[in-house]
């Protein structure tokens, strides 16, 4: 059991907030989420004024379903191009789509055309979150920082749940829906500028497998779900969580009017309680930073998100219902942080945007399905029974998948010794934590007895080596060079410069090495300008020493 300590989580949070590029990305993400919620509310109110409840329901489906279909396809751009650049494109696309919708309002276009503009806006919104979440690992030097970055991002999303609808409500009261779209079109221009300015300062996105394989369609992400059971399990948890969110808004109306007999403000108060709980949960999730095992936290989040929600339907007083819904909001935020962090740590970088694109599509479909399921549940089980059934979904799914849930932490753990050794090699110190974990998982241990040749000068190089224990002797043209011991590395010159081996290496004692194949080494190092520069400095220094040894040998021969 890990001891609860605030030191590492708070340090990780401080490093996240100290990174200028990440601060800009987070601010842009806040503007994006606020715009998403404000436009959602404005569109629903406009539709309701036009055609009542049925029109509002149709508008909700029109916003959700096309976006759910397109998000997985469009997210593939984030796996083939620099993610901050793609993220900027999505924000600018949102600004253009909202400006077009404003123009339709201004010219008093038919409502169907205006709804078409709204659909275009919602589709553009579905593109940003997958690329943003896939870009976060490139900012994180450690798993703690990655968890902290997800915590702050979830806090931003929860804050937008409160601010977006509030801003939309105020502007709709004062001016109308066109002004909501116009204001947030300007906001997305600012988001684009923030991301554009942060792109140059962003840590290099090291995509270790991108150089080796560049699948061009989203089916590569589907293949990941088929081969990596933990990924499909995590996406399943998030899908069920958003099914509950889709139910929650309508069930809040049922709770307010049919169970608690509240006035018109009742649903808003109850939904706000969940939003407030989401902010608290996102803040509390920083405690997960520094914990390598998140499976148990994920199991707890499933319980906390579901059980209080089920009990809220049995409440007889407003305060009790608000407290229970706030607790459910806390659990939902914890679930988001734990599941997203595990996805970022276990899914290969070359398909990560597409996996999050699938998650975005699944989320939007789940929101739509949740809204459709509520009338069925209420008619079958009654208002209180509908709450209980909806709330117990997450705990039930957790119980049915408990064995697989327990295995997530084990599958997410890289070989610990190889990871420790990689972090000691200077050229690898510039790589994001998740890339280091994936590379460490590809390294192989090799044992050599004293006197055994590891590499021979003049041979073709195929692997890079790090010494774990023991010592190796190095010779160039038969002349000894300084021996290498634990933590030292060798073999990079032949791989980077495509040269024959420039030295021979022999085990001076019984030695254990960890080796990395040529393709993975080159793809990893060349994926980061700073890592590549560091490796080049090492290679240049060793080549200079080798040239000096060769010159000494030539002088000895002439004598």
473, part of any domain: yes
Residues 194, 89 share a domain = yes
Entry field: residues in the chain: 559
Instruction: Please report the pLDDT score of residue 215 as a whole number.
Output: 45
Query: Which comes out higher in pLDDT, residue 217 or 389?
Result: 389
Lowest mean pLDDT among 87-101, 112-126, 134-148, 236-250: 134-148
| Domain C-terminal end among 372, 387, 413 | 413
How much is the pLDDT for 214?
A: 44
**Percent of the chain clearing pLDDT 90 (strictly above):** 24
Number of CB atoms found within 10 A of residue 480's CB: 10
Summarised one tens digit per residue, pLDDT across range 364-376 is 888 888 878 888 8
76 and 96 co-located in one domain = yes
Residue pair 241/393 in contact (Cβ under 8 Å)? The answer is: no
What pLDDT score was predicted for residue 556? Answer: 46
Q: Which of 178-182, 225-229, 324-328, 418-422 has the lowest mean pLDDT?
A: 225-229
Tell me the pTM. Answer: 0.69
The DSSP line for 360-421 is HHHHHHHHHHHHHHHHHHHHHHHHHHHHHHHHTHHHHHHHHTHHHHHHHHHHH---HHHHHH
Structure tokens at 138: 């490139």
Give the pLDDT of residue 388: 93
Separation of CA 396 from chain center: 26
Choose among 421, 430, 339, 438: nearest CA to 141.
430
Contact between 146 and 137 under an 8 Å Cβ cutoff? The reply is yes
Q: Is pLDDT at 414 greater than 70 in this prediction?
A: no
Q: Which tokens in the block code for residue 454? A: 């590891």
In this structure, the answer to whether residues 349 and 478 fall within a common structural domain is: no
Domain membership flag for residue 149: no
| pLDDT at residue number 62 | 82
Give the pLDDT mean for 309-330.
Answer: 92
Q: Do the domain assignments include residue 527?
A: yes
Examine the fold and report which residue of 357, 380, 413 is the final residue of a domain before the chain moves on: 413
pLDDT-derived band at 68 (thresholds 50, 70, 90) equals confident
Least confident of 137-146, 169-178, 252-261, 300-309: 137-146
CATH number of the domain at 124, please: 1.20.1250
pLDDT digits 0-9 by tens, 21-66: 778 888 899 999 999 988 888 887 788 778 776 777 778 788 888 8
Dihedral in degrees, nearest 10, Cα atoms 537, 543, 544, 550: 170
Query: Residues 191, 268: one domain?
Result: no
Mean of pLDDT values over 527-550: 72
CA–CA separation, 128 vs 292, rounded Å?
A: 28
Mapping DSSP to helix (H, G, I), strand (E, B) and coil, where does residue 265 land?
A: coil
Q: Is pLDDT at 280 greater than 70 in this prediction?
A: yes
Report yes or no on 454 lying in a domain.
yes
More confident residue, 77 or 87: 87
| pLDDT mean across residues, the chain | 80
Q: How far apart are CA 517 and CA 446, in angstroms?
A: 13
Residues 331 and 423 placed together within one structural domain of the fold: no
**Residue 363 and residue 219: Cα distance in Å, rounded?**
18
- Taking the C-alpha atoms of residue 555 and residue 559, their distance in angstroms, rounded to an integer, is 6
Is it the case that residue 85 has pLDDT exceeding 90?
no
Do 478 and 339 belong together in one domain?
Answer: no
**In a shared domain, residues 441 and 527:** yes
pLDDT band of residue 203 (cuts 50, 70, 90) is very low
Give dist(CA 441, CA 475) in Å, integer.
31
In a domain, 152, yes or no: no
pLDDT in tens, 436-482: 777 887 888 999 999 999 999 999 888 999 999 999 999 998 889 88
Position 234 in a domain = yes
Cross-strand partners of 522: none
C-alpha distances in angstroms, 295 versus 292, 417, 418, 459, 495?
9, 22, 23, 46, 38
Cα–Cα nearest to 128, from 65, 196, 191, 200: 191
| Model confidence at 136: pLDDT above 90 | no
Q: Are residues 382 and 260 in the same domain?
A: yes
CA-based torsion, 404, 405, 409, 412: positive or negative: positive
CATH number of the domain within which 422 lies: 2.60.120.10
190 shares its domain with 179: yes
Instruction: Kindly report which listed range (61-75, 137-151, 256-270) carries the lowest average pLDDT score.
Output: 137-151
pLDDT of residue 362: 85
Provide the pLDDT for residue 515. Answer: 92
Task: Look up residue 257 and give its DSSP letter.
Answer: I
What residues contact residue 316 under an 8 Å CB cut-off, 6+ apart? 260
pLDDT given at position 512:
93
Say whether pLDDT at 230 is over 90: no
| Of the ranges 66-70, 338-342, 499-503, the best mean pLDDT one | 499-503
Residue 2 lies in a domain: no
My answer on whether 50 and 190 are in the same domain is yes
Q: Could you give the number of structural domains in the chain? A: 3
Q: How far apart are CA 559 and CA 554, in angstroms?
A: 9
Q: What's the pLDDT tens digit per position in 283-313?
A: 887 777 656 667 778 888 899 999 999 999 8
Instruction: Note whether 486 and 500 are same-domain residues.
Output: yes
Are 301 and 334 in the same domain?
A: yes
Partners of 465 in the β-ladder: 490, 515
CA distance 489 to 542: 12
Predicted confidence at residue 412, as pLDDT, reads 52
**Whole-angstrom distance, CA of residue 324 vs CA of residue 305:** 10
Instruction: Single out the residue of 419, 412, 417 nearest to residue 436, CA to CA.
Output: 419
- Across-strand partners of 463? 517
Which range has the top average pLDDT, 11-25, 40-54, 208-222, 372-386?
372-386
Q: Report the first-to-last Cα separation within the chain, whole angstroms.
A: 68
For position 292, what pLDDT does the model report? 62
Of residues 133 and 514, more confidence is placed in 514
Give the pLDDT confidence score for residue 520 in this predicted structure.
Answer: 83
Please indicate, yes or no, if residue 150 is contained in any of the structural domains: no
CA separation for the pair 271, 204 (Å, rounded): 40
Domain that holds residue 112: 12-141+164-206
Return the higher-pLDDT residue of 527 and 448.
448
Chain-centroid distance of CA 422 in Å reads 23
Closest CA to 491 of 526, 516, 470: 516
Closest to 240 measured CA to CA, from 389, 32, 62: 389
- Looking at residue 559, its pLDDT comes to 46
Cβ-based neighbours of 416, under 8 Å, separated by 6 or more:
none
CATH number at residue 400: 1.20.1250.20
Q: Longest Cα pair distance anywhere in the chain, in angstroms?
A: 105
């Amino acid at each position: 059991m890990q001891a609860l300590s605030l030191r590492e989580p708070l340090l990780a949070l401080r490093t996240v907030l100290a990174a200028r590029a990440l601060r800009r990305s987070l601010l842009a993400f806040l503007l994006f989420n606020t715009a998403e919620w404000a436009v959602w509310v404005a569109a629903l109110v406009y539709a309701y004024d036009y055609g009542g409840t049925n029109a509002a329901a149709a508008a909700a489906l029109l916003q959700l379903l096309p976006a759910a279909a397109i998000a997985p396809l469009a997210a593939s751009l984030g796996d083939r191009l620099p993610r901050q650049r793609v993220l900027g494109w999505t924000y600018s696309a949102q600004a253009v789509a909202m400006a077009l919708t404003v123009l339709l309002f201004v010219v008093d276009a038919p409502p169907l055309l205006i709804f078409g503009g709204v659909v275009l806006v919602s589709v553009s919104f579905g593109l940003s979150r997958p690329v943003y979440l896939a870009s976060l690992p490139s900012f994180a030097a450690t798993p703690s920082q990655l968890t902290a970055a997800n915590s702050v991002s979830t806090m931003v999303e929860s804050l937008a749940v409160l601010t977006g609808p509030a801003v939309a409500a105020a502007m709709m009261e004062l001016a109308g829906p066109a002004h909501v779209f116009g204001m947030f079109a300007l906001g997305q221009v600012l988001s684009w500028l923030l991301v554009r300015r942060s792109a140059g300062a962003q840590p290099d996105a090291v995509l270790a497998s991108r150089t080796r394989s560049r699948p061009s369609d989203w089916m590569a992400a589907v293949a990941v779900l088929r081969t990596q059971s933990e990924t499909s399990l995590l996406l399943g948890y998030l899908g069920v969580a958003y099914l509950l969110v889709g139910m929650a808004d309508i069930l809040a109306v049922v709770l307010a009017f049919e169970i608690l007999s509240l006035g018109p403000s009742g649903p808003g108060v109850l939904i706000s309680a969940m939003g407030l709980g989401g902010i608290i949960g996102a803040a509390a999730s920083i405690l997960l930073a520094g914990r390598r095992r998140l499976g148990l936290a994920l199991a707890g989040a499933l319980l906390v998100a579901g059980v209080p929600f089920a009990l809220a339907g049995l409440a007889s007083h407003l305060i009790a219902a608000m407290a229970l819904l706030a607790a459910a909001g806390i659990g939902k935020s914890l679930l988001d942080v734990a599941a997203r962090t595990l996805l970022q740590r276990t899914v290969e970088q070359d398909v990560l945007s597409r996996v999050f694109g699938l998650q975005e599509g699944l989320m939007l479909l789940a929101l739509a399905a949740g809204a459709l399921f509520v009338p069925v549940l209420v008619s079958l089980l009654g208002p209180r029974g509908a709450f209980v059934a909806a709330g117990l979904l997450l705990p039930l799914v957790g119980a049915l998948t408990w064995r697989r849930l327990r295995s997530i932490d084990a599958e997410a753990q890289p070989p610990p010794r190889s990871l420790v050794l990689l972090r000691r090699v200077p050229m690898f110190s510039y790589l994001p934590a998740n890339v280091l974990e994936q590379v460490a998982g590809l390294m192989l241990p090799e044992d050599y007895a004293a006197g055994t040749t590891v590499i021979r000068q003049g041979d073709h190089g195929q692997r890079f080596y790090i010494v774990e224990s023991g010592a190796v002797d190095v010779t160039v043209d038969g002349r000894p060079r300084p021996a290498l011991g634990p933590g030292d590395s060798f073999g990079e010159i032949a791989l980077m410069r495509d040269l024959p081996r420039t030295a021979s290496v022999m085990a001076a004692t019984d030695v254990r090495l960890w080796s990395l194949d040529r393709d993975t080494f080159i793809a990893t190092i060349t994926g980061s300008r700073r890592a590549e520069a560091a490796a080049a400095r090492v290679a240049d220094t060793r080549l200079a020493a080798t040239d000096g040894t060769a010159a000494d040998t030539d002088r000895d021969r002439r004598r």
